[in-house]
Amino acid sequence: MGDLTVVEVYEGGGYSMDFTDHDVLQIESAFRSYKTEVFVCAGLANLYFASVQDMADMQGWKYHSTGIPTVVFDTGDCPRRKRKLRILLAERGTGFILWQDSVDNYTNYKAPDKGFHTMMVSTDRRKLAGFSFDDEQAASDFLRTIWTLTTNPDVVSPMRTREKKHRKKKEGGKVKFKLPKKCDISQPCCFQHIIAVEEKDRDVIPSLGKLCPRPPFAHVQKATSDDNSASDTCDKDSSSYSY
C-alpha cells in the first residue's frame, strides 16, 4: 500500500469521498498505544453543535468541522494513563484532533436517524453534539461499537481508575528496576511512513492553517521581493539594450 500525500487526500480544498483502509490506518496509528484500544469509523462525518435552548427555539444545528469519528479507550492498565473512554473527531489526512469529549453515564449517545447520532457534551450538559455520517453502514457499525463499550459495566459504569496493584517485595528490601542500556535497544523495526505534512499544506489543511498561520506581512514581503526581482530584470534588460 503506497503512502498518501495530503494533496491526494484533499482534492482542491474539498474532501475526497473515496474512503480507504489507509485512512483508518492513519487514525489508528495516531492514537494507538500501550493498553489503549482504538475504534475508527469507516467513513467521514460532519460535526454539529446545538444547545437545548436552540432546539426548543427551532434554531437548528451549527456546523463545526468534518472528520473521522473515533473511539479511544484507555483501559487504565498503563500507569501513565487513567482509565478513560473518549469520542473524538480526527482530521482526515493528518490525524489531528478537531474535537474530543469524554464518555460517561450521562453521555446518552443515541441515533435519532440512521445517519445522524447525538450525544450530551460532558463540559456542558445543556449542549448537544451531533454527527452526520456520509455512510449509513459506517454509522451503524460506529453506533454498535459505542453501545458495546458503554453497556459493559467494566468500561463506563464505574468509570474509575483501577486499584493500584501492590508491588511485590522480595526478602531483604525493594527490588530496584534497572533501566536498559542504549546498546540493548534495537533500531526501529516494522516502520511505515504513513503521512507527511509540509509547509505548503497550510493552505489545504484547515487545522494546520489554524495551528501554524502564516507570519504577518509575509505576502507583502513576498510581493516586495517579486517587485525587486522584476526591477532587477528590467535594469538588466535596459542595460543590454543600451549597448
Copy the grid coordinates of residue 175. 527490588
Residue for grid cell 516586495: 224
Q: Where are the domains of the chain?
A: 6-162+193-202
State the pLDDT confidence band at 52, using cuts at 50, 70 and 90: confident
Bridge partners of 47, per DSSP, are 65, 131
pLDDT > 70: percent of the chain: 68
**Least confident among 7-16, 70-79, 138-147, 177-186:** 7-16
Copy the grid coordinates of residue 170. 522480595
How many helices (H) and strands (E) the chain has is answered by 6, 10
Q: What is the pLDDT of residue 65?
A: 94
Would the pTM count as exceeding 0.85?
no
Residue for grid cell 501492590: 166
pLDDT value at 234 more than 50: no
CATH fold of the domain at 6-162+193-202: PH-domain like (2.30.29)
Return mean pLDDT, the chain.
76
The SS3 call for residue 117 is: strand
C-alpha 188 chain-centroid distance: 24
CA gap 72, 100 in Å, rounded: 10
CA gap 242, 71 in Å, rounded: 72
Give the residue, 243 or 164, on which the prediction is more confident. 164
State the pLDDT confidence band at 155, using cuts at 50, 70 and 90: confident
Question: Per residue in 59-98, is it b (16+ CB within 10 Å) or e — as a string?
Answer: eebeeeebbbbbbbbbbbeeeeeebbbbbbbbbbbbbbbb
State the pLDDT confidence band at 221, using cuts at 50, 70 and 90: low
pLDDT value at 228 more than 50: yes
Q: What is the pLDDT of residue 66?
A: 94
**pLDDT tens digits along 89-117:** 999 988 899 999 999 888 999 999 999 99
